[in-house]
């Protein structure tokens, strides 16, 4: 019994040409060389093919009815998803003026008809290799950007990233008059943990706090680490009472069971200072940080392992939990 031939598993080449013979010939020659192919007879057909299956490269005829290849190329370069997609223009218009025009509009390369197949294959391979290198560089850049924003130990946002996020939230709340709260969180007696159990255990405690805290926070909340034992949490759309409840959920998640490290069970409490943003009062992230820090100081100075809400001098009384 004969088996069906295995279809090519190589890069996908989209051939856009209004001439059926040209499309079929190019597709056949490319498939022999291990490429997968898709064909389109117009710009509209090509859009459908791109939406259906993302090609790795496009061979685009310049002279087509309704929408020319150059016009379609401009459209591709104006959309984020296809801005860097390799495009080789293929045309019988091989004069310098048309070549320069095509390259200026964003083509990666230009070939004249009739096509020299070995040359076309070499140009396709070159563009695919360059495209792969561009993607790799973009991935590296994105990874570096992520590393620059996150704390390497816990994966939470670092101080710089969380302050930038807080300022964005402050600007938004000022504009729309929405509620916003900030929690300043301290792991109680963290130095004693390092001294008694060692620095490896000391590293595990912030990691475990991050895991437990994230589990009880909303998806819109932002958790960041500002130092060895200090964390902050941005709570959008949150008033004072809701912020107190959120702080207590975080505190209970940490004190409900010890942190297990190797054979040790480490009891860890947390102190939380809470500040709320008043959209009627102009303020930067520095001011809100200062208020939450002052509330944290009160929580620690009155016994630790509790939460404390910052109150403006004009407000009567304080709220403490724990």
Among 121, 146, 171, give the residue marking a domain's end.
146
Same domain, 313 and 280: yes
Give the least confident one: 28-37, 147-156, 246-255: 147-156
Give the least confident one: 29-33, 138-142, 146-150: 138-142
Same domain, 214 and 128: no
How does residue 187 score in pLDDT terms, banded at 50, 70 and 90? Answer: very high
Q: Beta-carbon neighbour count of residue 215 at 10 Å?
A: 10
| pLDDT for position 145 | 58
Average model confidence (pLDDT) across the chain: 86
Strand partners of residue 271: 186
Same domain, 312 and 180: yes
Cα-only R_g, the chain: 30
- Look at residue 180 and tell me if it is in a domain: yes
109-112/87-91 β-pairing: parallel
Tokens describing residue 263: 């054979």
| pLDDT for position 322 | 54
pLDDT at 191 over 80: yes
| pLDDT for position 318 | 46
- Look at residue 47 and tell me if it is in a domain: yes
Same domain, 84 and 217: no
Nearest-angstrom CA–CA distance, 299 and 194: 22
pLDDT at 316 over 50: no
First to last CA, the chain: 77
Q: What is the mean pLDDT of residues 16-41?
A: 91
For 213, counting Cβ atoms within 10 Å of its Cβ (0-12 exposed, 13-18 middle, 19+ buried), the class is buried
The CATH number of the domain holding residue 34 is: 3.40.50.2300
Residue 235: name the closest of 297, 160, 292, 188 by CA: 292
Q: Are 230 and 270 in contact (CB under 8 A)?
A: no
| pLDDT for position 283 | 80
- Look at residue 170 and tell me if it is in a domain: yes
- Look at residue 288 and tell me if it is in a domain: yes
Say how many CA atoms lie within 13 Å of 311 toward its Cβ. 13
Same domain, 247 and 315: yes
- Look at residue 154 and tell me if it is in a domain: no
287: helix, strand or coil? helix
Among 146, 167, 189, give the residue marking a domain's end.
146
pLDDT, tens only, 62-116: 888 888 889 999 999 888 888 889 999 988 876 777 788 888 888 889 988 888 8
Q: Are 221 and 159 in contact (CB under 8 A)?
A: no
- Look at residue 4 and tell me if it is in a domain: no
pLDDT at 3 over 60: no
- Look at residue 227 and tell me if it is in a domain: yes
| pLDDT for position 57 | 94
Nearest-angstrom CA–CA distance, 234 and 166: 7
Among 119, 146, 173, give the residue marking a domain's end.
146
Total number of domains constituting the chain: 2
Same domain, 172 and 79: no
Same domain, 315 and 174: yes
DSSP per-residue string spanning 57-96: EEEEES--SSS-HHHHHHHHHTSGGGTT--EEEEES--SH
Same domain, 107 and 173: no
pLDDT at 317 over 50: no
| pLDDT for position 247 | 94
Q: Which residues of 24-58 are buried (b: 16+ CB within 10 A; e: fewer)?
A: eebbeebeeeebbbbbbbbbeebbebbeeeebbbb
The CATH number of the domain holding residue 279 is: 3.30.70.270
DSSP 226: -
pLDDT, tens only, 277-309: 987 777 888 999 999 999 999 999 999 999 999
Tokens describing residue 210: 């991050």
Q: Are 166 and 231 in contact (CB under 8 A)?
A: no
pLDDT, tens only, 226-237: 988 999 999 998
Range of the domain at 17: 12-146
pLDDT at 222 over 50: yes
Same domain, 133 and 178: no
Same domain, 120 and 40: yes
% of the chain surpassing 90 pLDDT: 44
pLDDT at 243 over 80: yes
| pLDDT for position 181 | 95
Same domain, 82 and 189: no
Same domain, 226 and 306: yes
- Look at residue 213 and tell me if it is in a domain: yes
């Amino acid at each position: 019994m004969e088996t069906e031939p295995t279809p090519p598993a190589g890069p996908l080449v989209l051939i856009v040409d209004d001439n059926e013979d040209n499309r079929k010939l190019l597709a056949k020659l490319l498939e022999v060389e291990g490429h997968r192919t898709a064909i389109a007879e117009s710009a509209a057909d090509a859009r459908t093919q791109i939406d259906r299956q993302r090609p790795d490269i496009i061979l685009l005829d310049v002279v087509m009815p309704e929408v020319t290849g150059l016009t379609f190329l401009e459209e591709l370069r104006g959309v984020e998803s296809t801005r860097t997609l390799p495009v080789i223009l293929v045309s019988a218009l091989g004069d310098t003026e048309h070549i320069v025009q095509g390259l200026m509009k964003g083509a990666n390369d230009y070939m004249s008809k009739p096509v020299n197949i070995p040359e076309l294959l070499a140009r396709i391979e070159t563009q695919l290799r360059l495209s792969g290198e561009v993607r790799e560089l973009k991935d590296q850049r994105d990874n570096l950007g992520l590393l620059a924003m996150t704390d390497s130990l816990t994966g939470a946002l670092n101080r710089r990233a969380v302050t930038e996020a807080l300022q964005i939230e402050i600007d938004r709340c000022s504009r729309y008059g929405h509620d916003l709260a900030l929690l300043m969180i301290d792991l109680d007696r963290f130095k004693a943990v390092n001294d008694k159990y060692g620095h490896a255990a000391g590293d595990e405690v912030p990691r475990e706090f991050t895991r437990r805290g994230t589990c009880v926070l909303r998806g819109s909340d932002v958790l960041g680490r500002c130092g060895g034992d200090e964390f902050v949490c941005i709570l959008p759309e949150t008033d004072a009472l809701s912020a107190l409840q959120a702080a207590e959920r975080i505190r209970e998640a940490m004190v409900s069971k010890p942190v297990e490290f190797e054979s040790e069970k480490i009891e860890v409490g947390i102190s939380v200072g809470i500040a709320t943003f008043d959209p009627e009062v102009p303020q930067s992230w520095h001011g809100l940080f200062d208020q939450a820090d002052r509330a944290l100081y009160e929580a620690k100075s009155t016994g630790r392992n509790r939460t404390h809400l910052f109150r403006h001098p004009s407000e009567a009384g304080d709220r403490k939990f724990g």
